[in-house]
Structures are given as structure tokens and as C-alpha cells.
Amino acid sequence: MSYTYEIAIVGGGASGLAAAVFCAREGGKSIVLLEKQPRVGKKLLATGSGTCNLTNRTAAPDNYHGDGASAFVTPALTAFPPEAALAFFRSLGVLCSPREEGREYPLCQQASAVLDCLRLELSRLGVTERCDAAITAIKPQNGGFVLSLANGETVTAERVILAAGGAASPSLGGSSDGYALATALGHRKTPLFPAIVQVRTDTTFVRAMKGLRTDATVTFCLNGQPLCSHTDELLFTEYGISGPAVMQISRVVGDWERRKTSTMTAVIDLLPTVSETELLALLAERRALGRTAADFLTGILNKRIGQTVCRAAGLSLEQPTETLSPNVLRKLAETIKRFTLPVIGTQGFGGAQVTAGGIATAEVDPRTMMSRRVPGLYLIGEVLDVDGDCGGFNLQWAWASAYVAAKAVTQ
Ligand SMILES: Cc1cc2nc3c(=O)[nH]c(=O)nc-3n(C[C@H](O)[C@H](O)[C@H](O)COP(=O)(O)OP(=O)(O)OC[C@H]3O[C@@H](n4cnc5c(N)ncnc54)[C@H](O)[C@@H]3O)c2cc1C
């Protein structure tokens, strides 16, 4: 069977769904949204741990990474800034509420509501949604395109928007299809690596703290030189470290992992609000408490973290602390302020929220998202070599790139 449409959108994720709404609102007449999975928006449902951090009021070009990404995202972010995203969702019936650091979430705190409202609008606008429709090839033909489906059917369309996402989180639909479809059409792909991802470290001391959360400053260092730092909640896990303090700056680990020509360490300040001098004085004072090392730090740090720090500093937990020497106190303070873990790598695309790398943006017009290689083909969202910081920036990119593409497609 063969079907004919004016606009075919490949991928029913965040950017594809938004592009379908924008195209229909801009006057697109016959639009089909083609989704490989049995349902659209599976990844969207998992965003913000099910609450969907749908944009960030502070979104700016330097929140985006990739080869030339900051310059590339500028026209789309200018045409469709976070305020436009909030107005768009309001127009769909989704009211938002602000949280820390410019993050915006739906008032009802349900990612499912964001998906429902996008789908209700698609149905109201008469967009055709086809699930279980995996596209295996896109071929230019007679000024338009023929799209092949895995089930043998074909779809013809005058214009195609490729919104097939990235490789992150395959359990939620992440795949390399979008890259394969674009490279088959002559596009170049930059190297892919996981970003916003958990980090694997040496587990000698970490395992004992598995499941514990604490506010900390995490610094990733390359050959001992600090690369980037972030202060937020840190989570110790069986394999290493996670939580916002790690995820926000984990891109450097993904980038390092694919080369591994040098040594990377995670240096953790377990008491970022206390200076090392203040901490030394505090520790000296605590000797008068007359405790063993097992409880020396109880009341300053989580008990299990405190015990692990003591062991890492070379103390046995049974050891009395009244007579700890200034050198031992210094070592303890150093361990608390610079708890150092050799980094092994990331948890890979399986644990990653986004893919760094993708289709080279130099081959795409940033004002329209149209391919410079294949006229009539538009690329949006994560399939491009653009990844944003953690905090609503990736969805903001999905909406903004969808908006400019839809404007251009329907012109
Ligand atoms: C757990 C998790 C939490 C996240 N939380 C946030 C958050 O709170 N805020 C934020 O800004 N970002 C968040 N992100 C990132 C954000 O979800 C993505 O950046 C965004 O979904 C990318 O949109 P997209 O449309 O490009 O790709 P996707 O949303 O991945 O959509 C691509 C779609 O294309 C389909 N597809 C792929 N190949 C084909 C094919 N051959 N034929 C047809 N269809 C195909 C896929 O099945 C998929 O549905 C999170 C990601 C994860 C994994």
C-alpha cells in the first residue's frame, strides 16, 4: 500500500509531536506523524522523572553543546524562546509552574498530561498518527520523497521532517535510525557519546555508601586538572556516582570515555558549605566528644558516609579519637573536602538522558532546519549534533527546532 501526504514527520517524540501541531496550525493540509513504537511520546512520559521539566526560562545558546551548537541554536531560540514554549503549552491547556534555576514543569506535575494535550490537539487538527510505523529509508523522488516502512508499505510526501531522536535510553525508544536515515541521504554524523548520564568509578569505598544522597560539589579532573564542577545532590550507587551533581557535568566523562588517553578523577567536596579551615577547627573540637572513629563525624556527615571517610583516611572504626594528631585531622579534612574517585566511564546510552554528537549542524540551515544537502528534508531535535544541559534545555530545543522547521515547511 502507498499513502500520500503533504508533510511526513518521522518520529513521534517531543520534537515530532510539536512539529505536527505547529505544521497543522500553520496551515499544513495533510500531515502524517510516523512513529516506530506502538505509542508516541514514550520518552516524553519519562522526562523529569514523570513530571516533565518542559523548558527552562534561562535557556541561552551557551546551554547547548556540539560542534558549533551555540551559534546553530541561536536563530531557533530567538524565534521560539522559553516564553514562547510556555505560551504554546498554555494554548494546549497545560499551565506551568516555575521551580529552582528557571526550570518549568506542568502545574499538574504529570508528563502524561503534556503528551495527552499534544495528542488531543493533533486529533483536533486532523493530523494522522501512525504507530508501529518504522521508517527504513527516505528517498528523494520527483521533487518529493518516498518513505519505506518496515512492513513493506510506502508513504509519499512533498516534505519530510526527520525527528527520530538520538541513541540515548533505548528502552524508551532511543535508536540510531535517525542517523542512518540522514547519512544514507549524504549527511555527516559527528561521533556519538552519552551525556546527562551516571558515572562509573572505582567502587572500593563507594559501595559502602550505596543509596545515600548528600549535597556535594563534584569536580571532574583530567590528569589532576579541574575540568568542570557542579554543586547539587549527589547519589552514591553500586557502580559509582549519580544524581544532579554528577549528571549535569557528566558530558565531559562521555567525551573522555571514547578516547581514554588520560586519567579522569571525580573529586568530591562532601561539605561544600564549610571551608577547610573551619572544618579543621571543627574536627579538633570534636576530639573532646570522646567517641570512636565510627561516630567521630556523626552529626556532620551522614553516619555511613562519615565512617567511609574515616576508613578512606586510614582510620579504623574502633579507634578512639581523643588523641588524633593534627596530621590525622588534616588528612580527614582533606578526605572530606577532596574525596577522590578514579573514574572508569559512564553508564552508557542505556542510562543516558541525551546523546551528544549527531548529524552535523553545518549541513543544516539554522533558520529553517532544512538540509543544505537535500532540499525539502528538515532535521529537528536530538538527531542533530546539539545537546543541552540538564534542566529543561533539551525539550526547549525540541520545541524550538520544531517550530522553525514547521514555519519553513508550511511557507
Ligand atoms: C529519562 C529521561 C528523562 C529526561 N528528562 C528531561 C527533562 O525533564 N527535560 C528535558 O528538557 N529533557 C529531558 N530528557 C531529554 C529529552 O527527553 C530529549 O532530549 C527529547 O525527547 C528529544 O526529543 P526528540 O523528538 O528529538 O527525540 P525523542 O523524544 O527520542 O523522539 C524520537 C522518536 O522517534 C521515533 N523513531 C526513531 N526511529 C524511528 C523510525 N525509524 N521510524 C519512525 N519513528 C522512529 C522514536 O521511537 C521516538 O519516539 C530526558 C530524557 C530521558 C531519557
Residue for cell digits 574517585?
Answer: 341
pLDDT of residue 1: 66
Q: Which residues contact 148 (CB under 8 A, 6 or more apart)?
A: 135, 136, 137, 138, 139, 154
pLDDT in tens, 238-294: 999 999 999 999 999 999 999 888 999 999 999 999 999 999 999 999 999 999 999
The 3-state DSSP class for residue 333 equals helix
Q: Which atom of ligand 1 is nearest to the CA of 172?
A: 53
For residue 104, pLDDT beyond 80? yes
**Residue 71's pLDDT is what?**
98
CATH number for the 2-193+350-409 domain, one of 2.60.40.730, 3.30.750.200, 3.50.50.60, 3.50.20.10?
Answer: 3.50.50.60
State if residue 106 touches ligand 1 by the CB under 6 angstroms criterion.
no
User: Is ligand 1 within 6 A of the CB of residue 138?
Assistant: no
Provide mean pLDDT across the span 193-205. Answer: 98
For residue 262, how far is its CA from the centre of ligand 1 (angstroms)?
32
Can you tell me which residue has the cell 524508551?
Answer: 172
Q: Is 137 in the pocket of ligand 1 (CB under 6 A)?
A: no
From the CB of 194, is ligand 1 less than 6 Å away? no
Is the distance from the beta carbon of residue 391 to the nearest atom of ligand 1 less than 6 Å?
A: no
| Ligand 1 atom nearest 133 alpha carbon | 43
382 lines ligand 1 (CB under 6 A): yes
Residue with the smallest CA separation from ligand 1 atom 22 is 382
Question: Mean pLDDT score of the chain, rounded to an integer?
Answer: 97
Q: What is the distance in A from the centroid of ligand 1 to the CA of 332?
A: 44
Question: Which of 161, 378, 395 to mutate to test ligand 1, by most ligand atoms within 8 A of the CB atom?
Answer: 395
Question: What is the spatial distance between Cα 195 and Cα 355, in angstroms, rounded to a whole number?
Answer: 6
For ligand 1, the distance from its centroid to the CA atom of residue 39, given in whole angstroms, is 13
Residue 268 C-alpha cell reads as 568530591
345 lines ligand 1 (CB under 6 A): no
Distance CA 278, CA 19 (A): 54
Q: Report d(CA 6, CA 30) in Å as an integer.
A: 5
Q: How confident is the model at residue 410 (pLDDT cuts 50, 70, 90)?
A: very high
Spell out the domain ranges in the chain. 2-193+350-409, 199-346
Q: How far apart are CA 112 and CA 119, in angstroms?
A: 10
The C-alpha angle 50, 55, 58, rounded to 5 degrees, equals 140
Check whether 30 has a pLDDT greater than 80.
yes
Distance 174 CA to ligand 1 centre (A): 7
